[in-house]
Amino acid sequence: MKTRITELLGIRHPIIQGGMHFVGLAELAAAVSNAGGLGIITGLTQPTPDDLAREIARCRAMTDRPFGVNLTFLPAVKPPDYPGYVRVIVEQGVRVVETAGNNPQKWLPELQKAGIKVIHKCTSVRHAKKAESIGCDALSIDGFECGGHPGEDDVPNMILLPRAADELRVPFVASGGMADARSLVAALALGAEGMNMGTRFIATKEAPVHHHVKEAIVRATELDTRLIMRSLRNTERVLNNAGVERLLEKERTLGASLTFADIVPEVAGVYPKVMREGLVDAGAWSCGMVAGLIHDIPTVKELVDRIMSEAEALVRGRLASLLDRD
């Protein structure tokens, strides 16, 4: 399947693995790239730029196909060593960077001078247009269904994607609610050039997370996620669990007086406990509503091959058969 995204990134299938904290390690990124998609290493999971350099080298030892690095720009009293991470990405010859969070404009010249394609993740059309205007090569349009931070507009992809198609010139992929061939075909019909999957790739054999996490996603339905930190305007979609229930009770009790400090036990340092140790009730961890469409734990290659073969069958079979041939 050829789209503007496959041509831009040099990949076989229009499928990208999203950056995910303590999930986007070399094993998963290499598996996705080897399957014909674009694997992504999550930059800030690596404590230092030198650690990221080693992770990139590890990934390169497992695949000779294109892969990328996610770099999320977050406001912080003591920000990560962003210049160091960018330097390592350039020096290591990474071909694609997925940016998220704050405006990446400051970093675009250095990245693009090195021939790196930059995909910026946006949750609204207005932010997408801004990203296009500053020179991002492609966009990832993140609907309200997504795991993680869906923004504050609450617009689902059935509306957001065609709105983006109406307004944008650069290619974009659909993110949020993407899990199977139906997701891909629908995304293409709505104007996207491919899809970005996060939660679906956690529930694969190669994902370097505890099996309790994968099993929790398979057990979950589309009704089992919750939105937290809404009053802080830092909304995050997470899988419901005991830790999340404690957090939500604090939000109900404290109301408008809630501060981030009140919920630190349920959000700070949670990911290593969940992803590495399998303590799925430790606190809040990102998961999309798409969990309701996830029923197995295949290898990455099995998943990607299945998506592409079923997508072709959908287009050539069911959709083509609906056309009036008289």
Q: At what angle do helices 181-189 and 300-313 cross, to 10 degrees?
A: 50
Q: What pLDDT is attached to residue 75?
A: 79
Closest alpha carbon to 82 in 115, 125, 46:
46
Report whether pLDDT(55) > 80: yes
CATH number of 4-204: 3.20.20.70
Q: What pLDDT is attached to residue 203?
A: 98
Say if CB 140 and CB 196 are below 8 A apart.
yes
Report whether pLDDT(204) > 90: yes
Q: What pLDDT is attached to residue 246?
A: 97
Q: What pLDDT is attached to residue 325?
A: 72
pLDDT tens for 224-238 read 999 999 999 999 999
Report whether pLDDT(32) > 70: yes
Amino acid at the residue 289: M
Mean pLDDT across the chain, nearest whole number?
97
pLDDT tens for 81-139 read 999 999 999 999 999 999 999 999 999 999 999 999 999 999 999 999 999 999 999 99
**Tokens linked to 201:** 């790739």
Closest alpha carbon to 128 in 159, 186, 157, 169:
169
In this structure, the strands spanning 236-239 and 67-73 are unpaired
- Angstrom CA distances, 81 to 84, 92, 95, 263, 313, stand at 5, 17, 20, 26, 47
Q: What is the pTM of this model?
A: 0.96
Q: For the chain, what are the domain ranges?
A: 4-204
Average pLDDT over residues 53-62: 98
Q: What pLDDT is attached to residue 78?
A: 87
Q: What pLDDT is attached to residue 326?
A: 65
Report whether pLDDT(4) > 70: yes
Say if CB 208 and CB 30 are below 8 A apart.
no
Q: What pLDDT is attached to residue 324?
A: 74
